[in-house]
Structure 1
Amino acid sequence: MELISSAERNRLFGTFEQDAFHLELRDDYTVPNEESPFTRWLSGELDDLGWFEPWAREMRRVTEDGRTVRRVRVVTEPHSPYIRWEHSLTDGNQQAGEDIRWLPRHRLPAGLVLPMAGNDWWLFDDHLLAVGHFDDQGRVLGSALIEEPEAVAECVRVRDLLWAIAIPHAEYKH
């Protein structure tokens, strides 16, 4: 399986025409002992969010063109420290134009089998998947691009199902 880098995946935001959707399934995206905004947040440091601005700028550009960027974050309750940090930043995602909803893991439909072996994925315009892969320590290995119609159709189905039951960020009380 060939993987593309996160930077290569992010270039897809310049090419999609209508909708980009991300399904997030992990309660932690950190790498142990990595210096990052998250580890600084854990230690109580204030963050100027300069690291976030390139993403926010790209999301504003995309959404001001009339395209949508949506996410469903499936999370365990009570939240991990990472999810608490991520929740604290979500207003910034929304101000940049993203639409984010939360779905407590215990509210997933009974019997639902998550496609892509339970990995996170981005779905672009209902025809291209970028499926995230991680190593055992949680480091991002990259994304696999998939255009196989049956796999895409299953992700469209799951996206629509989860989007309908997920809680909009402004209404989600954790």
Structure 2
Amino acid sequence: MLYLTINETNALLRTAHTDAFHLEVSDDHSAVADETEPMRRVLAGLPPFEPDAYPDSWREWDELVGEVTAHGVTMRRVRVVSEPLTDYVRFLQGLTDRNVRLGEDIRWLPRHLVDQADYTTDEWWLIDNARVAFTIFGTDGDFVGAALTEDPAIVDRCTGIRDALWRKATPHADYAPGG
């Protein structure tokens, strides 16, 4: 596997030709530094930021999604979540309309509906059914990069997981958390 920094991971997403799929399975990334205050604000019923305080890292993501989807690439994401939702996942749900407006297709899948044969506890990006970039978090919980592989067995496994979970997941606009 090849280690990628955050910038290299973002550059990888820009190389997608048809599809960039992200699997998220963690109920808590609340230690991510640039999400602490926005999470507090969203859970309090406020906008995530003051109008003049939009973080550069969030702006960069917005630009990346816009750039990638403008080239006709489908950006998809399944969030496998425990119900009832954790505060962190409630925070994500509160921001997902923004991601959808930017061009991402995001679906939700309650963990109890997942067949363990169609699951992984790793979070990753699958790019064009050819490359998998496993998300790496530092000891402080912040995203630090990815581990990239083109191993056909791993790519095939992740493609199968993506397809199985995508079919079962509920589009964001239709998802109403239970539990």
Using the size of structure 2 for normalisation, the TM-score is 0.85
**TM-superposition CA deviations, 1:138-159 (whole Å, max 9, x none):** 3334311011000100000010
Q: Which residue matches 1:80?
A: 86
Structure 1 residue 90, shift from structure 2 partner: 0.4
Unaligned runs of 5+ in 1: none
Cα separation, 1, equivalents of 2:102 and 2:83: 27
Alignment of 1:61-72 (within 5 A): 61-72=67-78
What percentage of aligned pairs have identical amino acids? 40
Q: Report the number of matched residues.
A: 171
1:4 matched to 2:4: yes
Q: Which residue matches 1:133?
A: 136
Question: Contact 2:32–2:142 at 8 Å: present in 1 too?
Answer: no
Amino acid of the structure 1 residue aligned with 2:123: D
Cα separation, 1, equivalents of 2:17 and 2:112: 34
Q: Are residues 88 and 45 of structure 1, via their aligned partners in 2, closer, same or farther at CA, if it must alter by over 3 Å?
A: closer
Structure 1 residue 50, shift from structure 2 partner: 2.2
Using the size of structure 1 for normalisation, the TM-score is 0.87
Q: Which residue matches 2:38?
A: 37
**TM-superposition CA deviations, 1:97-116 (whole Å, max 9, x none):** 0000000001102x42634x
Q: Which residue matches 2:147?
A: 144
Amino acid of the structure 2 residue aligned with 1:112: A
Unaligned runs of 5+ in 2: none
Q: Give secondary structure in 1 for the equivalent of 2:154.
A: helix
4+ runs deviating over 3 angstroms: 32-36, 39-46
Alignment of 1:1-174 (within 5 A): 3-31=3-31, 36-42=37-43, 46=47, 47=49, 48=51, 50-51=54-55, 52-109=58-115, 111-112=116-117, 114-115=119-120, 118-135=121-138, 137-174=140-177
Aligned-pair Cα RMSD in Å:
2.2
